[in-house]
Amino acid sequence: MGYDLNLDGKTAIVTGGSGGLGRIVTRALAQAGASVVVASRQLSASEAVVREMVDYEVFACPLDVTDRSSIEAMANRVLDRYGHIDVLINNAGISPFAASMANTRADGMKKLFEVNVVGALECAQVCAPAMISIGAGSIINMASSAAAVGIEGLGAYAVSKAALIKLTEQLAGEWGPKGIRVNAIAPGFMGVGVANFVQGNTDFMAPVLERTPLGRVGNPHEIAGAVVFLASDGASYVTGQTLYIDGGVSRW
């Protein structure tokens, strides 16, 4: 039982599920047997994900993580359709600008926290009662290795992801007694993701890759196994942890 990575019978929500990483996470969860809800602001893009995965139980639902009523409406639709919520992947996130902290505007920082931290908190708050009612649940927050290493120009984003890691630890402590496990995954630079705008910048990426032990950006598929593991009963004694999937850059 402790090694069971099968997600048959479980319902999983992936926020920001229509993006590149969200698509891959959705497919991995569906292949493991879960019914997966692709939740994002772009319903047409979420529906395209559903069409790509016709062999699996995948459902599109509109969601704005900055709007509590939208989160509640999404959760109610999921409960009406499936009757339970077992897994929440807080994947929705933004990294809309590159700037030094000296040049970071307050409104930019507020927007980052609104989506990357408060949005994750409110999704967790809304979904937690359904998990508590069955005495089990797994919440996985998508953080970033930027939370652990200094990256010029991404300071505000890094601060928001460091806050998300601390939120993960706090929720794990508070909700563990209720049967909910809360963990985070901290990817490094991936082939897709919120930092796409820097990946074509050789001047930016060259020093990052130089200090990365594996010497390359990650493949988004390299996140999938970790998501399935943390969502499954195979990780039944794992909570409050952050798994860095970053080629070793955060530890070198």
What letters, b where the CB count within 10 A reaches 16 and e where it falls short, cover 117-133?
bbbbbbbbebbbebbee
Between CA 87 and CA 138 the distance in angstroms is 5
Q: What is the largest CA-CA distance in the chain?
A: 52
Residue 198 burial by Cβ neighbours in a 10 Å radius (0-12, 13-18, 19+): middle
Give the integer Cα–Cα distance in Å for 108 and 119. Answer: 15
84/37 Cα distance (integer angstroms): 12
**DSSP state at residue 141:** E
Answer yes or no: 82 catalytic.
Answer: no
Question: Terminal CA-to-CA distance of the chain, rounded, Å?
Answer: 35
Q: Which of these is catalytic: 56, 157, 237, 244? A: 157
**Which tokens hold the place of 251?**
């530890």
Query: Which sequence positions are flagged as catalytic?
Result: 157
